[in-house]
């Protein structure tokens, strides 16, 4: 019997639908649970020799919710503690859409985090400006909301500047940078702040928000995150280095494809 063009098309559509369903099933049942530890060396401009080799543990976009349980968040914190970082940074989006029922469970799950030079967090676009920071602070996690704090590490001064997601203009960020040390790290949930950081000559920015695209397709890549200057990993603009984590949780759809959740361990290197 002759094979018609219509039959070939129907077969192709069925095969494509099957492939999409299989990928979606894998992304839901398997990959979104496959936490990995990413080790990256970050070149930091003007980094003092005493800070060469400083290790920062970075977790972001936890999205504690019906899809990411508090137990899962606790396992993430435990995994990072096993790496014994010198400093821990949390990049925001502890819950999804500000869901208050997960605020305290998420903060409690992170309460075991510890590092010699402290645990610091910022807020993402899914976090409210009152309950979430209060819950974190009550668990001894410092939250920087358009604020700067100064650390002394190995005899050197390090300034951490943390901004809210909605703080976007260079004119609003500049006062936080003014009179800061040369070793200033900007903690900005949105990687689009790379532009402002480079203009202000900030040597290092840590961001999340993109989820690494969450679904990364062959050839097309991370379609949902193409508007960002760095989707995942390391990027550079002028003398500013940025690291963007793929994060832990998911949003909109509870799947990850070619984009596993991560705990990042970042080792600073002198340029």
Buried-state track 104-123, b at ≥16 Cβ within 10 A, e below 16: bbbbbbbbebebebbbbbbb
- Say what the pLDDT of residue 225 is: 85
The whole-model pTM stands at 0.89
Taking 70 as the threshold, does the pLDDT of residue 10 lie above it? Answer: no
Q: Per the structure block, which two tokens stand in for 56? A: 């920062």
| Whether the Cβ atoms of residue 62 and residue 247 lie closer than 8 Å to each other | yes
Q: Are 106 and 70 in contact (CB under 8 A)?
A: yes
Helix axes 103-110, 70-81, angle to 10 degrees: 20
Confidence of residue 14 (pLDDT cuts 50, 70, 90): very low
Using CA atoms, how far residue 227 sits from 91, 124, 128, 190, 213, in Å, is: 19, 18, 25, 11, 10
Q: Quickly state the pLDDT bin for 219 (edges 50, 70, 90).
A: confident
Name the pairing type of β-strands 55-59 and 36-44.
unpaired
d(CA 26, CA 31): 6
In this structure, are residues 195 and 218 in contact, taking their beta carbons and an 8 Å threshold? no
Domains detected in the chain = 34-270 (3.60.21.10)
Residue 58 is predicted with a pLDDT of: 98
For residue 41, give both structure tokens. 């060396």
The predicted structure's pLDDT at residue 30:
67
Predicted pLDDT of residue 228: 96
Residue 15 in tokens: 């095969």
Which pLDDT band holds residue 137 (cuts at 50, 70, 90)?
Answer: very high
Largest CA-CA distance found in the chain, in angstroms, rounded? 82
101, 72 in Cβ contact below 8 A? no
**Whether residue 4 has pLDDT greater than 60:** no
Residue 52 has pLDDT above 70, yes or no: yes
pLDDT tens for each residue of 55-79: 999 999 999 999 999 999 999 999 9
pLDDT tens-digit map of 21-49: 344 444 454 678 999 999 999 999 999 99
Comparing 89-98, 137-146, 216-225, the range with the smallest average pLDDT is: 216-225
Whole-number pLDDT of residue 215:
95
pLDDT of amino acid 34: 95
Average pLDDT of 157-164? 98
The chain-wide mean pLDDT, for the chain, equals: 91
């Amino acid at each position: 019997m002759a094979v018609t063009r219509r039959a070939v098309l129907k077969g192709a559509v069925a095969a494509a639908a099957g492939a999409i369903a299989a990928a979606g099933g894998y992304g839901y049942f398997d990959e979104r649970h496959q936490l990995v530890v990413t080790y990256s060396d970050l070149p930091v401009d003007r980094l003092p020799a005493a800070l060469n080799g400083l290790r920062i543990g970075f977790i972001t976009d936890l999205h504690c919710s019906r899809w990411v349980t508090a137990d899962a968040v606790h396992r993430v914190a435990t995994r990072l503690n096993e790496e014994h970082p010198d400093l821990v940074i949390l990049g925001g989006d502890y819950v999804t859409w500000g869901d208050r029922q997960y605020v305290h469970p998420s903060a409690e799950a992170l309460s075991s985090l510890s590092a010699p030079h402290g645990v610091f967090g910022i807020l993402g676009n899914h976090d409210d400006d009152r309950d979430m920071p209060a819950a974190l602070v009550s668990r001894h996690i410092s939250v920087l909301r358009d604020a700067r704090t100064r650390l002394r590490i190995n005899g050197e001064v390090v300034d951490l500047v943390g901004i809210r997601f909605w703080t976007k203009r260079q004119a609003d960020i500049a006062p936080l940078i003014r009179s800061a040390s040369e070793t200033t790290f900007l903690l900005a949930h949105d990687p689009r702040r790379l532009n402002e950081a480079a203009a202000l000559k900030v040597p290092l920015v840590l961001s999340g928000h993109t989820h690494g695209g969450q679904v990364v397709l062959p050839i097309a890549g991370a379609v949902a995150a193409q508007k960002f200057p760095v989707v995942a990993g390391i990027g550079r603009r002028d003398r500013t280095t940025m690291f963007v984590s793929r994060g832990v949780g998911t949003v909109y759809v509870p799947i990850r494809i070619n984009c596993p959740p991560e705990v990042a361990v970042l080792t600073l290197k002198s340029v």
